[in-house]
Amino acid sequence: MQIAILLFDRLTALDAVGPYEVLSRLPGADTRFVAVEPGPKQTDNGVLALVADHATADVPSPDVLVVPGGTTGVEVSMNDDRTLDWLRAAHETSTWTTSVCTGSLILGAAGILKGLKATTHWAAMERLRQFGAEPTSERVVRQGKVITAAGVSSGIDMALTLAAEIAGPDIAQAIQLGIEYDPQPPFDSGSPQKAKPEIVDALRALVGRRSR
Amino acid sequence: MQIAILLFDRLTALDAVGPYEVLSRLPGADTRFVAVEPGPKQTDNGVLALVADHATADVPSPDVLVVPGGTTGVEVSMNDDRTLDWLRAAHETSTWTTSVCTGSLILGAAGILKGLKATTHWAAMERLRQFGAEPTSERVVRQGKVITAAGVSSGIDMALTLAAEIAGPDIAQAIQLGIEYDPQPPFDSGSPQKAKPEIVDALRALVGRRSR
């Protein structure tokens, strides 16, 4: 089972590494980090690079496709024909096509979300409409073989859901135990419905500035 | 505020990237991935490399020290004098010294956990005793300026706890919202107390084989 995780400059590291840490533990997983041009890809803040060992051109038909999000990196990918052409072709033969955070905007730009319910980072939710998708405020949204996940850390939940679909609940639970995913955040502030309104407003303003 | 995250070959990516994704969002954070020899460091399964831009020698006194875990990479680091000497010296001037997963075994090998309660990946818990630490089955264990976290994904919870100590609860909650950390795992199997006993036993056998 070939799993391709797309990398590009200015991605959000946890969007990619969360699903990777789960899916690469599936029995028989052949996990490949791919990029249009292989090599080190800087994260959104420029302090870390993740290395893509494979060119997208060399991984044309993965079984599982994972598209992470990011800030400016997403805007570039949404307008990059080589990225979008690869995604469209890979999606034709994939068993699962997935995204984390604003990675769904890249799927959208490739035309993959037309007519589907989908999610993304809460602050980018309305942008899904321009691709004909129906914004859906759930952590993991499945529509046939397309699974989109909410912001950044939600990729872990998405990948565990997918692991259960692929290999059954016992394997998924073993992976959850292996990465000791027994979350105990010290605050209950992880969604705009739960966080203090002034924190939501401040962050929405900040995200708006960054993506413009 | 300088934050140094140690990288080494055969580390577990999420151990490092979880805390990074939280701590690098702190106001004024100067986050540096460091290694004894800078460059790309392979993760435990060899399918991804994270790039350390800085040599440990060039980052002698970070304010915050984060030591991730891994499989064979931890054993190597526990016996590497350059790693241990750097840790001991950095710990003398750090404001916070932290670890995720079996990273605490490296702190232990450096003599930093003597007489302290500490945690690590559940399957490695008893190994803490050889360093004079008291194994403690909690997700995040704080002893003065030393914070150890349980397996892999627990680094996110640890880092949010630390973010609140450093910058206050509002900033920590804004970061939690920014990474949309509203965990909803599809199973409740993330600790040996919660997982099915046969899954715990199977995984314990597997981890035992790997680390020998």
| Average pLDDT rounded to a whole number, residues B77-97 | 98
**Which residue has 């290395």 as its token pair?**
A51
Categorize the per-residue pLDDT at A108 as very low, low, confident or very high, splitting at 50, 70 and 90.
very high
User: In this complex, do B47 and A40 lie within 8 Å of one another by their Cβ atoms?
Assistant: no
CA of A109 vs chain B CAs: smallest distance (Å): 23
Which band of pLDDT confidence, cut at 50, 70 and 90, is reported for residue A207?
A: confident
Tens digits of residue pLDDT in B158-183 = 999 999 999 999 999 999 999 999 99
Percent of chain B with pLDDT over 90: 95
Taking only the tens place, the pLDDT of each residue in A39-67 is 999 999 999 999 999 999 999 999 999 99
Query: Which residues of B are the active-site residues?
Result: 101
CATH at B62: 3.40.50.880
Structure tokens that stand for A88 in this block: 């469209």
Q: Is residue A44 part of a domain?
A: yes
Is residue B206 one of the residues assigned to a domain?
no
User: What average pLDDT is seen over chain B?
Assistant: 96
- Distance, in angstroms, between A17 CA and closest chain B CA? 6
Contact yes or no for B178 and A203 at CB 8 A: yes
Q: Which residues of A are catalytically annotated? A: 101
Please state, in angstroms and rounded to a whole number, the distance separating the CA atoms of residues A101 and A12.
9
Within-domain flag for B86? yes
B residues 62-91 closer than 8 Å to A (CB): none
pLDDT digits (tens, 9 = 90+) for A122-178: 999 999 999 999 999 999 999 999 999 999 999 999 999 999 999 999 999 999 999
Instruction: Classify residue A29: in a domain, yes or no.
Output: yes
> A179 lies in which domain range?
2-184
- The interface residues of chain A toward chain B in range 113-142, judged by CB-CB distance below 8 A, are 121-122, 139-140
Confidence check: pLDDT of B80 > 80: yes
Residue A212 has pLDDT above 80, yes or no: no
Model pLDDT for residues B21-48, shown as the tens digit of each residue: 999 999 999 999 999 999 999 999 999 9
Query: Is A43 part of a structural domain of the chain?
Result: yes
State both tokens at A192.
Answer: 């705009």
Ranges assigned E (strand) in A113-166: 117-118, 134-135, 140-143, 146-149
- B78, part of any domain: yes
Q: How confident is the model at residue B212 (pLDDT cuts 50, 70, 90)?
A: very low
- Taking the C-alpha atoms of residue B149 and residue B159, their distance in angstroms, rounded to an integer, is 9
Give the total number of structural domains in chain A.
1
Beta-carbon separation of B150 and A45 below 8 A: no
Q: Following CA atoms B57, A9, A148, B182 in sequence, which dihedral angle do they give, to the nearest 10 degrees?
A: 30
- Only one residue has tokens 């840490």, namely A21
> Greater confidence, A204 or A35?
A35
Is the Cβ pair B199, A173 closer than 8 Å?
A: yes
Size of interface A-B (CB pairs under 8 A): 221
Which of A3, A12, A21, A23 would best serve as a mutation to test chain B binding (most B beta carbons within 10 A)? A21
Tell me whether residue B66 is in a domain. yes
Min Cα–Cα distance to chain B from A96, Å: 18
Confidence of residue B208 (pLDDT cuts 50, 70, 90): low
Q: Is B160 within 8 Å of chain A by CB?
A: yes
pTM (predicted TM-score): 0.97
Task: Give the model confidence (pLDDT) of A71-92 as tens digits.
Answer: 899 999 999 999 999 999 999 9
A54 at interface of B, judged by CB pairs closer than 8 A: no
Q: Is A102 exposed, middle or buried (CB count within 10 Å of its CB: 0-12, 13-18, 19+)?
A: buried
Q: Is the dihedral of CA A60, A62, A64, A69 positive or negative?
A: negative
In a domain, A150, yes or no: yes
Three-state secondary-structure class, residue A199:
helix
